[in-house]
Amino acid sequence: MEKITSLAKRRGFVYQSSEIYGGQNGAWDYGPLGVELKNRIAGAWWKEMTRLHDNIVGLDAAILMHPRTWEASGHVENFTDPLVDCKKCKSRFRADQIPQENLTAKKCPDCGGELTDTRKFNLMFKTHIGPAEDTASIIYLRPETAQGIYVNYKNIIQSNRMKIPFGIAQIGKAFRNEIVTKNFIFRTCEFEQMEMQYFVKPGTDEEWFAEWRKQRWAYYEKLGIKMDHLRWHQHGPDELAHYAKDAYDIEYLFPMGWRELEGVHNRTDYDLGRHTQFSGKDLQYIDQDNNNERYIPYIIETSAGLTRNLLMIFCDAYDEEQVAEKGNDDDWRTVLRFHPDLAPVTVAILPLMKKDGLAELAQDIRAELKEDYATDYDQAGAIGRRYRRQDEAGTPFCVTVDYQSKEDGTVTLRFRDSMEQVRVPKAELSARIRQEIKAYKRTK
Ligand code: ATP
């Protein structure tokens, strides 16, 4: 994880928030390459969950919601972590994350000092809206995006004439006052989620639950993730949320071990039932194709962290490879093997020399490719070094412009993973790259 954190910072993927002030715990900033990567991951998910489904639509709900939302959802009452503090070193721990013997003996796992009793700690960030700071003005930063979907489900049925089964997808920020925020961007206080809530008829929920498990697994396969680094974890009776009928997490083998990446949950009619009760509005679905049968739909949820997906994709892509004889200057390379659809830069254009019109020719080629691809241009230093820099940024294709290019209009197309090079007429470059992206299969 140290190598990943340091590469991420060095190459402008992720920086610590407010670093010049000593950093802000639980918050991170995404730099030039990071924001591109994050946008592409979001784009891939959005395409998968909306464009490829005729019956799933998008939503972008506000972060601030009516406080009753969080009473109805159960977050005010139940969204808590068990917390203990060390009276001596002042460290704070989640009681469920320290060894049981420390908890029983009330002994700090760090310094051996005395621990406080376990108390419940609500993870929602609370603030005030308007000028008065009293209980009437309390408002929360949403701890999940799902509730914005539930409260809009009737609006969307009406505006878009949706028929069950259908889904609503949303990507957005969520906030949790996490007690332990180590492991880089894995668990942060401010993060982004990609959630799709699928509304189904009671009785068909188990079938849809199985279907969504299948689809979410296939999605990661499509992105070229190492499938032996993914596994399912079914929630046991003591883990299962009170509203859930069944729940599975997709876990990824991060450098610190297997951890949750995404949850697929059968949430039953709990959410819409509770919002009916708390809002007084009738949230039943009226099935016009079935004698106006009325029911509260069941919800199958697929809930993934966008920023956690970014960490997973970064870890999964990270590779170090020996590429030349030992002792050679460039004997090892660090390479990020991103799927070309996700890579922050798709094509880098590199003139072999700055002089003799090669730089101008390279700039012309870049200008042409810009319309279709995210490009970079680099004319500084030896060509081998420049390839390494692009490998480290995860750029799948490099185009090198040399003296032959001036004569016959061909350029070198170099592939990140195999480091193979082929000559391509510059007029065919864009189509060739498109073809390579379509045919891409991860081999290493
Ligand atoms: P955990 O047990 O790790 O706290 P959770 O089970 O509470 O997570 P959910 O509420 O199911 O998580 O959230 C869905 C997804 O949102 C998670 O699978 C994860 O990818 C992401 N997520 C949740 N909390 C955080 C966080 N603090 N930082 C980054 N991503 C998060």
pLDDT in tens, 382-424: 999 999 999 999 999 999 999 999 999 999 999 999 999 999 9
Query: Which residues are within 8 A (CB) of 280 and not within 5 positions of it... i.e. 6 or more apart?
Result: none
142, 175, 193: residue to mutate for ligand 1 pocket, most atoms within 8 A of CB: 193
Higher pLDDT, 242 or 362: 362
The pLDDT value recorded for residue 429 is: 96
Per-residue pLDDT, averaged over 72-80, amounts to 93
Atom of ligand 1 nearest to the CA of 309: 20
Question: What span, in angstroms and rounded, lies between the C-alpha atoms of 348 and 39?
Answer: 19
Say if CB 169 and CB 49 are below 8 A apart. yes
Average pLDDT, rounded, for the chain:
95
For 197-233, the pLDDT digits (tens) are: 999 999 999 999 999 999 999 999 999 999 999 999 9
In the DSSP assignment, the letter for residue 64 is B
Closest CA to 340 of 401, 399, 411, 416: 416
Which two structure tokens, joined as six digits, stand for 106? 């009330």
Say if CB 304 and CB 194 are below 8 A apart. yes
Say if CB 256 and CB 270 are below 8 A apart. no
What is the H or E stretch that residue 149 is in?
Answer: helix 146-150
Residue nearest to atom 23 of ligand 1 (CA): 305
The pLDDT value recorded for residue 431 is: 97
* Cβ–ligand 1 contact at 260 (below 6 Å): yes
* Cβ–ligand 1 contact at 262 (below 6 Å): yes
For 99-143, the pLDDT digits (tens) are: 999 999 999 999 999 999 999 999 999 999 999 898 889 999 999
Say if CB 194 and CB 42 are below 8 A apart. yes
The pLDDT value recorded for residue 329 is: 67
Residue 325 has pLDDT above 90, yes or no: no
How many helices (H) does the chain have, and how many strands (E)? Answer: 14, 23
Query: Which residues are within 8 A (CB) of 187 and not within 5 positions of it... i.e. 6 or more apart?
Result: 178, 180, 181
Burial class (CB in 10 A: 0-12, 13-18, 19+), 124: middle
248, 308, 311: residue to mutate for ligand 1 pocket, most atoms within 8 A of CB: 308
Question: What span, in angstroms and rounded, lies between the C-alpha atoms of 102 and 95?
Answer: 9
For 265-300, the pLDDT digits (tens) are: 999 999 999 999 999 999 999 999 999 999 999 999
* Cβ–ligand 1 contact at 302 (below 6 Å): no
For 155-203, the pLDDT digits (tens) are: 999 999 999 999 999 999 999 999 877 899 999 999 999 999 999 999 9
For 349-375, the pLDDT digits (tens) are: 999 988 888 999 999 999 999 999 999
